[in-house]
């Protein structure tokens, strides 16, 4: 009987040591402990987490600044940025992935990208994606114990607006775009149409700039305002132009400075700037006429015309910065 009691005491002591050591380990290394616990209990293979249900507006295009990733399991900040871009680009509203355990600052930096990023990385990332995958708001939940990161977006464009916009784009496209003509000429026809039919929404511009407390009644920051309501500021002009370039299968992206946004177009193996807003002369002069000063120009020409509003982030839009070399 004594031997049995001694055996039970020894077993109890061993289990106590194991429990105590696991608690100590969890205290000093919470990420690794919960990481492996979570993977074991939930049978999650975090190295294989990818977005399967991408929508029709997903762009299978990589840029120098951001690239799509097949597996979302970041080991450094650039991979985290790529994962965020892939999420926005995919068009899904919610997605969860796990950071690599060696990337200790992953969950902290994921939150910073959304809530406290002095470099405004998040505001630049979406410009490489399709406008229909834009968001009004984006949130991030991150668990430092498990390395779990969850993103959620509130979409900017509703399905109803997308349907109306697409019908208008098809109508304009079928009327203006000639498949036997050059891309240059077809882009110019769309550029001219937008500049001639859209009215710059100064009420919205003044409200955003803080010069007025009265907001516009128009959805002028989007392609809906530009194409359906015929009222827009630079964001609306740019989104509308983007939709036509995408329909023409011409590679493009949106480019921003601190105060402005416009299109960049990849044509004949070179990148060019295209700013419909500034070519709609009513915006700059109040007079009703069309110009082509900002139509498919290189970076040197753009900055020679205007450096104040067009000083874009050259460390982000690297394809365009190369034109200065």
Residues 223 and 163 in one domain: yes
Residue 4 confidence (pLDDT): 58
Residues 212 and 315 in one domain: yes
Residue 19 confidence (pLDDT): 45
Residue from 186, 190, 180, 220 nearest 203 by CA: 220
Residues 234 and 300 in one domain: yes
Q: How far is residue 120 from each of residues 93, 117, 139, 256, measured CA to CA in Å?
A: 21, 5, 15, 11
Q: Which residues pair with 155 in a beta bridge?
A: 135
Residues 249 and 179 in one domain: yes
Residues 57 and 37 in one domain: no
Q: Which residues pair with 200 in a beta bridge?
A: 232
Residue 275 confidence (pLDDT): 98
Q: pLDDT truncated to tens, each residue of the chain (325 aa)?
A: 555 555 555 566 554 544 444 444 444 444 444 555 555 545 556 667 788 889 999 999 999 999 999 999 999 999 999 999 999 999 999 999 999 989 999 999 999 999 988 778 888 888 999 999 999 999 999 988 888 999 999 999 999 999 999 999 999 999 999 999 999 999 999 999 999 999 999 999 999 888 889 999 999 999 999 999 999 999 999 999 999 999 999 999 999 999 999 999 999 999 999 999 999 976 555 566 789 999 999 999 999 999 999 999 999 999 998 654 4
Residue 314, burial from CB neighbour count under 10 angstroms (0-12, 13-18, 19+): middle
Residues 279 and 240 in one domain: yes
- List the structure tokens of 262: 């416009």
What is the CA 37 to chain-centroid distance, rounded? 33
Residue 202, burial from CB neighbour count under 10 angstroms (0-12, 13-18, 19+): middle
Residues 186 and 301 in one domain: yes
Instruction: Please check whether residue 143 is in contact with residue 107, taking contact to mean a CB–CB distance below 8 angstroms.
Output: yes
What's the domain range around 284? 159-324
CA distance 117 to 111: 9
- Tens of pLDDT along 20-43? 444 444 444 444 445 555 555 455
Residue 105 confidence (pLDDT): 94
% of the chain at pLDDT higher than 70: 82
Residue 120 confidence (pLDDT): 82
Which of 140, 155, 170 represents a domain boundary (last residue)? 155
Residues in the chain: 325
Here the CATH number for the domain that contains residue 294 is 3.10.620
Question: What angle do the packed helices 183-197 and 234-247 form, to 10 degrees?
Answer: 150
- Count of structural domains, the chain: 3
Residue 65 confidence (pLDDT): 95
Residues 75 and 197 in one domain: no
Residue 38 confidence (pLDDT): 55
Residues 317 and 179 in one domain: yes
Which of 102, 121, 155 represents a domain boundary (last residue)? 155
Residues 198 and 320 in one domain: yes
CA distance 260 to 245: 20
Residue 52 confidence (pLDDT): 87
Residue 122 confidence (pLDDT): 86
Residues 180 and 308 in one domain: yes
Which of 123, 155, 187 represents a domain boundary (last residue)? 155
Residues 292 and 224 in one domain: yes
């Amino acid at each position: 009987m004594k031997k049995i009691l001694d055996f039970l005491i020894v077993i109890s002591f061993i289990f106590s040591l194991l429990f105590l050591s696991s608690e100590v380990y969890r205290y000093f290394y919470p990420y690794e402990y919960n990481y492996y616990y979570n993977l074991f209990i939930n049978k999650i293979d975090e190295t294989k987490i990818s977005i399967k249900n991408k929508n029709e507006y997903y762009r299978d295009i990589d840029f120098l600044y951001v690239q799509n990733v097949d597996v979302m399991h970041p080991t450094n900040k650039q991979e985290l940025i790529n994962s965020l871009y892939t999420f926005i680009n995919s068009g899904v509203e919610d997605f969860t992935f796990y950071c690599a355990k060696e990337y200790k600052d992953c969950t902290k930096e994921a939150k910073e990208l959304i809530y406290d990023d002095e470099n405004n990385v998040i505001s630049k990332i979406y410009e490489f994606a399709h406008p229909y995958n834009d968001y009004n708001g984006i949130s991030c939940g991150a668990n430092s114990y498990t390395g779990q990161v969850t993103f959620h977006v509130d979409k900017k464009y509703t399905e109803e607006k997308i349907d109306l916009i697409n019908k208008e784009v098809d109508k304009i496209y079928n009327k203006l775009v000639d498949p036997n003509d050059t891309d240059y000429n077809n882009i110019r026809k769309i550029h001219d149409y937008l500049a001639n039919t859209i009215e710059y929404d100064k009420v919205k511009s003044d409200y955003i700039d803080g010069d007025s407390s009265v907001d516009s009644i128009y959805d002028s920051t989007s392609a809906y305002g530009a194409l359906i309501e015929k009222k827009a500021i630079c964001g609306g002009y740019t989104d509308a132009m983007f939709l036509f370039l995408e329909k023409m299968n011409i590679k493009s992206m949106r480019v921003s400075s601190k105060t402005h946004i416009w299109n960049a177009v990849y044509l004949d193996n070179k990148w060019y700037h295209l700013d419909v807003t500034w070519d709609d002369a009513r915006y700059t002069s109040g007079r009703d006429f069309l110009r082509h000063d900002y139509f498919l120009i290189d970076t040197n020409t753009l900055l020679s015309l205007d450096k104040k509003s067009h000083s874009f982030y050259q460390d982000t839009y690297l394809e365009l910065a190369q034109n200065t070399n």
